[in-house]
Structure 1
Amino acid sequence: MRVTGFLRRQRRRQRGAAAVEMAIIAPVAFLLLIGIIEFSLVFFTTLVMQYAVREGARYAVTGRADQSPGERLNSVVAVIRNQSLGYYDSICTPLSVNGTVSSSGNAATVLGAPGDIVVLRVDCTWKLATPIVAAVFPNGVYKFAVAATMQNEQFYQ
């Protein structure tokens, strides 16, 4: 009987131990999980924008002789918008073509002539939601640039 009395007392002392352990571990585990999700979103966004700019560059180098230069530039931006899953308008600055921002450049020369090298670049800013992950980046913002370089096809003007 003495042994069972000892075991009962020990069992009583253990009640609530799991709740205390969970209270200590849960915040760390949730923070780690949220951090993994945040970093995943950052890398996903970078890859989506890289894909969108590459598709825009593929479209740009075809020349599209049936369009005026201004329409051609607008079509390239439209392709990037369509491929970016909506991120282009919310996180990106205007498209830069060969170092010239598309909104300020002359549309007739910005995309180049047949055989020219075309560089499309988009600068993006992603605001981080998690304070601890945001502390890793300057001002809590992840800034990145995506670019694609291709040579224009020998299209007819």
Structure 2
Amino acid sequence: MTGRKRQRASLHRQRGTETVEFAISATLLFLLLFGIIEFSVALYDKATLTNASREGARTGILFKPQPRDLATENAAIEQAIRDYAEQYLISLGGPAEMAIDIQRSDDTMPPGSDVTVIVDYPYQFLLLPSFIGTLGGILELSATTTMRAE
């Protein structure tokens, strides 16, 4: 066999290796890319929940004349949180299902008393749920804000 025939035979046997290499490296590249996107959205949602809990706490420390109606105030706090979350939260699976807990150091809310707002949100992965078996496809995001009435 001459040198050219050997070279042509060698090239013929290597046909398709680029495609296989691309398939392997592209899979890893796309997995990494979608992972970065997914966790970026989760971090954005965490920041949004923090801001939503702040909005709720601000609503809770507003001055109100006595006697205070805590049920109405709690409803206003929850509404402020839901309004903020609805506007900014990235939740492609429909409306955000949040658990909201409101705690007060004193029910009469004199100056110096605290309002604590805790918001829990189960973030569901959009693109990578099957690859994240240890998390079960859900990441619990939580935000807590405490503000003092002045």
Give the aligned partner of residue 132 of structure 1.
131
Displacement of 1:63: 2.1
Distance 2:72 2:97 in 1: 24
Q: TM-score, normalised by structure 2?
A: 0.74
Give the aligned partner of residue 105 of structure 1.
none
Change over 3 Å in CA distance of 1:71–1:5 after alignment to 2: same
Displacement of 1:3: 5.0
Displacement of 1:7: 4.2
Change over 3 Å in CA distance of 1:64–1:6 after alignment to 2: farther
Contact 2:117 2:146 in 1 (8 A): yes
Distance 1:75 1:65 in 2: 16
Contact 1:64 1:72 in 2 (8 A): no
Change over 3 Å in CA distance of 1:22–1:13 after alignment to 2: same
Contact 1:57 1:120 in 2 (8 A): yes
Give the aligned partner of residue 22 of structure 1.
22
Mapping 1:114-125, distance limit 5 Å:
114-125=111-122
Gap regions ≥5 residues in structure 2: none
Give the number of equivalent residue pairs.
Answer: 140
SS at match of 1:84: helix
Gap regions ≥5 residues in structure 1: 100-108
SS at match of 1:115: coil
Deviations 1:128-156 (CA, angstroms, capped at 9, x unpaired): 342112x132x332113211001012xxx
The 4+ residue runs of structure 1 with deviation greater than 4 A are: 2-7, 86-89
Give the aligned partner of residue 75 of structure 2.
74
Contact 1:124 1:145 in 2 (8 A): yes
SS at match of 1:28: helix
Is 2:72 aligned against 1:96? no
Distance 1:91 1:39 in 2: 19
Structure 1 stretch displaced more, 72-81 or 49-58: 72-81
Contact 2:96 2:121 in 1 (8 A): no
Is 2:42 aligned against 1:42? yes
Q: TM-score, normalised by structure 1?
A: 0.71
Distance 2:65 2:14 in 1: 79
Compute the RMSD of aligned alpha carbons: 3.0
Contact 1:91 1:125 in 2 (8 A): yes
SS at match of 2:109: coil
Distance 2:17 2:119 in 1: 53
Distance 1:64 1:41 in 2: 37
Counterpart of 1:22, as a letter, is: F
